[in-house]
Amino acid sequence: MTTLRLVLGDQLTREVAALRDVAKGDVVLMAEVADETTYVKHHKQKIAFVLSAMRHFAEELRGDGLTLDYIQLDARGNTGSIAGELRRAVKRHKPSRVVITSPGEWRLLAELRDLDLGVPVEIRDDGRFFATTARFAAWAAGRKALRMEFFYREMRRETDLLMQGDEPAGGQWNFDSDNRKRLPASVAVPQRFGVEPDAITREVIELVERRFADHFGDLEPFEWAVTRADALRAFEDFLRHALPNFGAYQDAMASGEPFIFHAAISPYLNAGLLTPREVCVAAEREYIEKRAPLNAVEGFIRQILGWREYVRGVYWLKMPDYAQTNALHATRDLPWLYWSGETDMHCMAEAIAHTRRHAYSHHIQRLMVTGNFALLAGIDPKQVAEWYLAVYIDAYEWVELPNVQGMSQFADGGLLASKPYASSGAYIDRMSDFCKSCVYDVKQKSGPKACPFNYLYWAFLIRNARQLRGNQRLAMPYRTLAGWDAARKAAITAEAEAFLDGLATK
């Protein structure tokens, strides 16, 4: 009896549930489909990365003696959808059952659940995470707010990562306060680890350039790993050259430096080339063997064991309604500068240039530059979420949507974050060198030369006072606003509106 086993483009590991009990005679189906490349217009490097990694993984499975039914994007008869390729594969192979690992996005899971293939279909939980969705739901039950810190502590206890008995290593759960340093000119940034594209990747790059020429982003230089072996090499390079400084400078930003000391392994984790447990254990070993300080290792592990697990839990707990949240009633259209990068705001131009060139920018650029601007401008969170999903190589809806709705845009009204991550230009100036090269003056609060983040920040607080005035973490700025007369508030609001109305949206 033949079992047909579906492996999706973000499930590229032998540890995936659908392959757990694979046997001789089973058929592994992998399909490159148009629907998954265009439901948003993904960055060219994202498409090239996924397709090349899929093709390399298929070769590995064939080398292990498994039977592959691999459908390339331009294959004759390709239906363009996962459901369509499953139907065709069932007709070809006449399996007794179909086994699928639960996909990472709600829309695809809903489609697969409704699919009638004429044979039994088993959809298995994705076991590549530390916490199952049921485990997270049990933790979240009865809580009005879902704070990552408390979930993270439970994960530390359950995994025994960075623990000394019942207590956290170093006597505290996180070292975030140690990890907010600006990058000094005297600290050299390590060269990014890159992989030269092989013949398979070159073929994919040519396909992407030909078929997706109108998608956002540059295809060259393409330096991402597309195999597990190369992803491991990239991670080892991070451990050796960047992890020791990752903690101190993880929030720092610098012109021309999209990576700084970040690992940039999120594409590999999210596609399955690396597993979260192995990278956390390896990072912990660097601390144990005194090759990296605790603040760096804890900060790295918190991003994966804490934040990554947490946002996935929130996604599956709250979907599909979560995608519709808009607590601040933001309605502006996304400005064209998010696609073009053409703006006099140097911080925005830098972040978008990094994104265009590498399909990547690190989390503070995403949160406190592009995300902060969208929040202050009152941009429709649906459009913001679609942009993030389209432009980043590591973006899948399960990780991207909670970051936008909850962390970046406060669209969920405070379910994730205790306050909106809104700031004036002062934060960007403190954490980067961007303001030194900007035509705007970060010290000026209003006027034609003032940093737009400054008056947009106050206009944001004025516009959303009804929803936010009672937030204790915003007590100080609202006390400042209380001392302003109506005319001053109206002037700041008018200046912000005039600036935003002047931004092209197409």
Cβ–Cβ < 8 Å for 146, 314: yes
State yes or no: pLDDT of 338 exceeds 90: yes
Statement to judge: residues 448 and 403 lie in one domain: yes
Predicted pLDDT of residue 82: 97
Predicted pLDDT of residue 176: 84
Strand, helix or coil for residue 99: strand
Structure token pair of residue 202: 């070159």
Statement to judge: residues 349 and 404 lie in one domain: yes
The structure tokens 């109108």 sit at 214
Structure token pair of residue 23: 């046997």
Predicted pLDDT of residue 252: 95
266-293 pLDDT, tens per residue? 999 999 999 999 999 999 999 999 999 9
Percent of the chain exceeding pLDDT 70 equals: 100
**Boundary of a domain, candidates 268, 286, 318:** 318
Q: Is residue 347 part of a domain?
A: yes
Distance between CA 506 and CA 486 in Å, rounded? 34
Rounded to the nearest 5°, which phi and psi values hold at 3? -110, 130
Average pLDDT, stretch 464-469? Answer: 96
Q: Is residue 46 part of a domain?
A: yes
Distance between CA 145 and CA 131 in Å, rounded? 19
* Total number of domains in the chain: 3
- Report the CATH number that the domain containing residue 52 is assigned in CATH: 3.40.50.620
- In sequence order, which ranges of 99-146 are alpha helices (DSSP H)? 106-113, 133-140
**Boundary of a domain, candidates 263, 283, 318:** 318
**Boundary of a domain, candidates 85, 100, 124:** 124
State yes or no: pLDDT of 193 exceeds 90: yes
200-257 pLDDT, tens per residue? 999 999 999 999 999 999 999 999 999 999 999 999 999 999 999 999 999 999 999 9
Cα dihedral 151, 157, 162, 168, rounded to 10, equals 90
Helix (H) or strand (E) holding 308: none
Q: Is residue 215 part of a domain?
A: no
Q: Would the CA dihedral through 373, 375, 380, 382 be positive or negative?
A: positive
Predicted pLDDT of residue 196: 97
DSSP state of 189: P
**1 or 171, which is more confident:** 171
Statement to judge: residues 396 and 275 lie in one domain: no
Rounded to the nearest 5°, which phi and psi values hold at 183? -80, 115
- Report the CATH number that the domain containing residue 249 is assigned in CATH: 1.25.40.80
State yes or no: pLDDT of 506 exceeds 90: no
Cβ–Cβ < 8 Å for 378, 328: yes
pLDDT band at 144 (very low <50, low <70, confident <90, very high): confident
Rounded to the nearest 5°, which phi and psi values hold at 431? -105, 5
Average pLDDT, stretch 96-125? Answer: 96
Sorted by sequence, the CB contacts under 8 Å of residue 372 that are 6+ apart come out as 408, 421, 422, 423, 427, 453
**382 or 506, which is more confident:** 382
Q: Would the CA dihedral through 151, 155, 156, 158 be positive or negative?
A: positive
Can you spell out the DSSP letters for 345-405?
-HHHHHHHHHHHHHS---HHHIIIIIIHHHHHHTB-HHHHHHHHHHH-TT--HHHHHHIII
Can you spell out the DSSP letters for 226-277?
-SHHHHHHHHHHHHHHTHHHHHHHTT--BTTBS-TT----HHHHHHTSS-HH
Average pLDDT, stretch 117-130? Answer: 96
Statement to judge: residues 312 and 365 lie in one domain: no
Q: Is residue 350 part of a domain?
A: yes
Statement to judge: residues 257 and 184 lie in one domain: yes
Statement to judge: residues 446 and 410 lie in one domain: yes
- Report the CATH number that the domain containing residue 457 is assigned in CATH: 1.10.579.10
Distance between CA 103 and CA 131 in Å, rounded? 16
423-442 pLDDT, tens per residue? 999 999 999 999 999 999 99
Task: Work out the angle at residue 276's Cα, subtended by the Cα atoms of residues 271 and 277, and round it to the nearest 5 degrees.
Answer: 145
Predicted pLDDT of residue 177: 82
Distance between CA 330 and CA 381 in Å, rounded? 7
Sorted by sequence, the CB contacts under 8 Å of residue 312 that are 6+ apart come out as 129, 131, 133, 136, 398, 399, 402
Statement to judge: residues 345 and 476 lie in one domain: yes
Statement to judge: residues 258 and 341 lie in one domain: no
Q: Would the CA dihedral through 207, 212, 214, 219 be positive or negative?
A: negative
pLDDT band at 111 (very low <50, low <70, confident <90, very high): very high
Quote the mean pLDDT of the chain: 96
372-422 pLDDT, tens per residue? 999 999 999 999 999 999 999 999 999 999 999 999 999 999 999 999 999
pLDDT band at 180 (very low <50, low <70, confident <90, very high): confident
Predicted pLDDT of residue 182: 93
Statement to judge: residues 177 and 302 lie in one domain: yes
State yes or no: pLDDT of 179 exceeds 90: no
Statement to judge: residues 296 and 436 lie in one domain: no
Average pLDDT, stretch 57-79? Answer: 97
Statement to judge: residues 34 and 178 lie in one domain: no
Q: Is residue 506 part of a domain?
A: no
Distance between CA 52 and CA 273 in Å, rounded? 12
Instruction: From 274, 416, 440, 464, select the one nearest 348 (Cα to Cα).
Output: 440
Domain that holds residue 108: 3-124
Q: Is residue 97 part of a domain?
A: yes
Average pLDDT, stretch 119-136? Answer: 96
Distance between CA 482 and CA 168 in Å, rounded? 42
pLDDT band at 145 (very low <50, low <70, confident <90, very high): confident
State yes or no: pLDDT of 33 exceeds 90: yes
Average pLDDT, stretch 163-183? Answer: 91
Strand, helix or coil for residue 502: coil
Statement to judge: residues 246 and 149 lie in one domain: yes
Q: Is residue 139 part of a domain?
A: yes
Q: Is residue 85 part of a domain?
A: yes
State yes or no: pLDDT of 129 exceeds 90: yes
Average pLDDT, stretch 19-47? Answer: 95
Number of H helices, E strands in the chain: 24, 7
Instruction: From 93, 103, 101, select the one nearest 4 (Cα to Cα).
Output: 93
